[in-house]
Amino acid sequence: MSGRQGEGPWSRFLPASYRGRIALAIGAALVIAVVATQLLLGLFVGTRVQREVTQQLRQQGEEIAAVARDDGYAGVAAAKRFLPGTRVVVRRDGEVVYWSDPVQALEARAVVTEGDIEVTLEREADSGVWGEWVVPVVVGGVVLVIGGAAWWLAGLASRRLRREAQALAGQAERVAGGDLGARVEVDDGELSRVATSLNAMTEQLADTDRRQREFLADVAHELRTPITSIDGFASALVDGAARTDEDRREAAETIKEESDRLCALVSDLQALTVADLDQEVAREPVDLVECCRDVVHRLERTAGENGVLLRGPGDGQEPIVAETNGAHVETILQNLATNAIRATPAGGTVRVTAAQAGGVVALEVADTGVGIPAEHLPRIFDRMYRVDTARDRASGGTGLGLAIVKGLTDALGARVEVQSAPGEGSTFRVLVPVAAGLEA
């Protein structure tokens, strides 16, 4: 991404490097200060020079008045030759008796009156060599010194930025090359927030990579167990090791059970893939109360075989319509209810309900089962994570049900919550927005 994005059309005139920009900013500030100082100095020098020239003109005016009284017009004309660049006007009794040609840019003026003679002198207030050469040269030198100092200071400032940026770029390159253990040192510099975010991102990538590897290992293990059973019993049928009808029936039943287990695993993997693809979810008006009833009807037989009472919304409950995806909602409820049935001992109860509160519908699956210890709650939505590995595998669970629930709720813009304690059962609550585009 370009560093100048969003700076405006004038940004193309700025230097590309941080050092150039810092130097430009410092130099501009100092030059403004120098120019302001020069203006103030010029005003002060000009005022002082004008005062001195005026005083000098007053002295010369007194001398011209004396010459006019003693030598008349001829004396004034002779004295004028010693006053180059000065306009002289002499009046006697109010009448002009002598005047010289006008001079341009007259800035200093003095009027001297002695008796009936009035002398007016006008001259340019020249600041001399200071105004012409010394001040401009000094100011120019100061500007050059300031520019060099600004460039040097900018180099010091940009060197640190460049060093920190190079460290961040080096870490990003290492992460891109597969080194997820790369970390950059975080200090209290200008880029500390970027460094902290980059380290957090790398840690998240490392954690995701670890979880992905664990997931693949778990999937391989889950696939190997039924495939091994299917292969063993199929071989027994092929090579004649299963000689009796009972042996062959046992082999066929085992192959069927393990095939069902494989189908369930593949189906869960497909559902998980759909959630991972983050595709646009097709939405339509859906009666969430009817979704609850459909799931309860679908799982009543399974619940009965486990001695669990499965209850859904009452017949008199009014429909609750939301703009969502009905298939995803039913998949979420079915996975939660299936887990609840597995976790509930015979004689227990599982309830699937729906209730609206404002712009959100709360879908709840509550059971009176064994509950979940607090240390397991943060990870129950991880893939292949099982609270009770032996019980879950014995009941045919794949360990993907809650991961699918989490993925589909995120896809719907919903949120899933859980409350549970050992021996007190569990309650899973899915908060579904009524209107599309809202967040639960």
| pLDDT at position 115 | 83
Distance from C-alpha of 428 to C-alpha of 13, rounded to nearest angstrom: 59
Distance from C-alpha of 415 to C-alpha of 433, rounded to nearest angstrom: 9
Looking at the DSSP bridge assignments, the partners of residue 429 are 364, 417
Put simply, whether the predicted model's pTM sits higher than 0.85 gets the answer no
Burial (CB < 10 A; 0-12, 13-18, 19+), residue 387, is: buried
Domains of the chain (ranges, CATH numbers): 12-178 (no CATH), 180-277 (1.10.287.130), 280-440 (3.30.565.10)
Residue 55 zone, left/alpha/beta (φ > 0; ψ -120 to 50; rest): alpha
Which stretches of 268-348 are assigned E, i.e. beta strand?
A: 284-287, 309-311, 321-324
Q: Are strands 321-324 and 349-357 parallel, antiparallel or unpaired?
A: unpaired
Distance from C-alpha of 255 to C-alpha of 240, rounded to nearest angstrom: 16
Q: Which residue has the tokens 């210890």?
A: 373
| pLDDT at position 6 | 44
Alpha carbon separation from 219 to 88, 216, 226 (Å, rounded): 112, 5, 12
Closest by alpha carbon to 75, among 90, 87, 85, 54?
Answer: 90
Distance from C-alpha of 382 to C-alpha of 380, rounded to nearest angstrom: 6
For the chain, the straight-line distance linking the first and the last C-alpha, in angstroms and rounded, comes to: 34
| pLDDT at position 111 | 86
Question: Helices then strands (H, E): number in the chain?
Answer: 9, 11
Asked if 363 and 348 touch (Cβ cutoff 8 Å), the reply is no
The answer to whether the Cα torsion of 185, 186, 188, 194 is positive or negative is positive
Three-state DSSP state, 102:
coil
- Token readout for 415 is 């949120």
Looking at the DSSP bridge assignments, the partners of residue 355 are 362
The answer to whether the Cα torsion of 404, 406, 411, 417 is positive or negative is positive
pLDDT in single tens digits along all 440 residues of the chain: 444 444 455 555 555 565 566 667 766 776 677 677 667 666 666 676 667 778 888 888 888 888 888 877 777 788 877 787 788 888 888 888 887 876 555 567 888 888 888 888 887 755 544 455 555 666 677 767 776 776 776 666 667 677 777 777 777 787 777 777 777 776 665 566 777 777 788 888 887 777 777 777 767 766 787 888 888 888 888 887 777 888 888 888 888 888 887 887 777 777 767 666 666 778 899 999 999 999 999 999 989 999 999 999 988 899 999 999 998 899 899 999 999 999 999 999 999 999 998 889 999 999 999 999 988 888 888 876 766 654 454 455 566 778 888 888 888 889 999 999 998 999 999 999 988 666 65
Alpha carbon separation from 427 to 289, 349, 421 (Å, rounded): 18, 12, 10
Give the torsion through C-alpha atoms of 102, 105, 107, 110, to 10 deg: -10
| pLDDT at position 16 | 57
A 10 A CB-CB count for 184 gives: 20
| pLDDT at position 160 | 67
**In one letter, which amino acid is 161?**
L
Three-state DSSP state, 439:
coil
Q: Are strands 360-367 and 425-433 parallel, antiparallel or unpaired?
A: antiparallel
